[in-house]
Amino acid sequence: MTRTGTPPSYRGYLFVMIAALLWALSGTAGKYLFLGGMSPFVLVQVRVTFAALFLAIFFALFRRDLLRIERRDIPYFLLYGGIITGLVQLSYFYAISKIQVAAAIFLQYLAPVIVALFSIMFWKERLSGLKLLALLSAIAGCYLVVGGYDIEFLQMNRIGVAWGILSAFAFASYTLLGERGMQRYTPWTILFYSYVFSALTLNIIHEPFNYHLTTDYTPVQLLCIAYVVLFGTLIPFGLYLTGINHIRSTRAIITATLEPISASLVAFLILGEALAPLQFAGGIFVIAAIVLLQMQREHDGLAPEVIRNTDR
């Protein structure tokens, strides 16, 4: 009997592509909120707090087993969630608030390259010709994306560029530390407690629940906030996890590079932001570097360094 419906591999690619598009729209929604006066810190505070609340309610009702952690692992979650996760979120949105959405996302996509460098320097991985080509492509791409060829442009946006580069290092650290946690817990448990401890930290630093969401924001801004929490965090994460159940994680990561390309288009259509031709070419170099690195790891039969399983 002939089977009908979409083959599992095709469904996997479709899920990852949808997740990438949702993440791209989330960046544009965040930039819209910043232009309206909302600070990146408050948006991140709202995002992680409500994401943690939604997951807590869902797990309490349907998957209580995912809420269980051992007392000895609390310091790990304090570091991973309370510091690293918050830094990933803040650096990403602060970069978007200062420079173009697409440029900020391209910079954060340097994270796989940073992890590869870490592996070569500290884990004694072999520096093959393909890896060297990927690293050179990433460096050249970063230079073009940030407008390094234009002295005036770089001076005007050096703070945003610094936040973008910090977001790449933060996400690389997040990935390396997350791999350790997933040796003991499922990705969903890691995700939930990363948001819980990040929310605790941010609500200690800033007055908790002082968002005034019903009085200080327009209906469109409230819609953008809801989008960032639900469709920029929880739903795409679920889609991505479902996708990698059907296709290899390596292919999922390569497919997810649709995000910065689609972010360029969305930011242009909605915000009027346009990358210069050389900036867009730099983005292509960054994506090429990621593809080359993942091809190398697939050839070596190793797990990919970066699995984008949470904060985009």
> Considering the entire predicted model, what is its pTM?
0.75
Identify the band that residue 309 occupies on the pLDDT scale cut at 50, 70 and 90: very low
The predicted pLDDT at position 152 comes to 61
Which of these ranges, 67-71, 124-128, 167-171, 241-245, has the smallest mean pLDDT? Answer: 241-245
Residue 308 lies in a domain: no
The predicted pLDDT at position 265 comes to 76
Residue 276 lies in a domain: yes
Q: What share of the chain is helix, strand, coil (3-state, %, to 5)?
A: 75, 0, 25
Residue 2 lies in a domain: no
**Token code pair at residue 278:** 């050389």
Residue 305 lies in a domain: no
Identify the band that residue 193 occupies on the pLDDT scale cut at 50, 70 and 90: very high
The counts of H helices and E strands in the chain are 15, 0
Residue 234 has pLDDT above 70, yes or no: yes
pLDDT digit string, tens, across residues 34-92: 988 888 888 989 889 999 999 999 999 999 999 999 989 999 999 999 999 889 889 98
User: Could you list the residue range(s) of the whole structural domain that residue 149 is in?
Assistant: 8-300
The predicted pLDDT at position 214 comes to 62
Higher pLDDT, 163 or 207: 163
Computed over every residue of the chain, the mean pLDDT equals 78
Number of compact structural domains in the chain? 1
The predicted pLDDT at position 2 comes to 40
Residue 1 lies in a domain: no
**With contact defined as beta carbons under 8 Å apart, do 306 and 112 qualify?**
yes
Residue 309 lies in a domain: no
Residue 96 burial (C-beta neighbours within 10 Å; 0-12, 13-18, 19+): buried
Residue 295 burial (C-beta neighbours within 10 Å; 0-12, 13-18, 19+): middle
Scan for tokens 């050839």, then name that residue. Answer: 299
Residue 225 lies in a domain: yes
pLDDT digit string, tens, across residues 12-37: 778 878 888 888 888 888 889 998 88
pLDDT digit string, tens, across residues 247-298: 655 555 566 667 777 777 777 777 777 777 887 788 788 778 777 766 666 5
Closest CA to 104 of 264, 295, 239: 264
Residue 184 lies in a domain: yes
What value, to the nearest 5°, has the Cα angle with vertex 87 and ends 191 and 226? 60
CA gap 17, 311 in Å, rounded: 16
